[in-house]
Structure 1
């Protein structure tokens, strides 16, 4: 008599389905991560542009920026 757990007739199918589902979730997660990273980069660029425009407007208005950020 074999002491191992009995084979489930559809065990392999279930395992394959679970692995496929996990693979799909991982692919969707990677795509979402890439999209979020791109959007964060775009937002950073827009914020930098906005800061430059605000600085330009303040200079045109004769107002000095009292908060100086270190340049990177």
Structure 2
């Protein structure tokens, strides 16, 4: 089973390819002339796609700061 790949453009040019584990677009190998069938294009840049995540993180941090804790830690 082929693992789907998403091509995500970057604001500064270029792109990254991201495998989507656990998903499959087609059964069997991809024929050499059809590699484009195995790569999905994301219509927005990575930065644009992550903008809502950044907004949510900022809102959460603002609310935590209003609560007045002595310390706030964020882990990745």
Tell me the TM-score normalized by structure 2. 0.37
The answer to which structure has the higher strand fraction is: 2
Q: Which has the higher contact order (CA 8 A, sep 6+)?
A: 2
Tell me the TM-score normalized by structure 1. 0.38
The answer to which structure has the higher helix fraction is: 1
**Whose Rg is larger?**
1
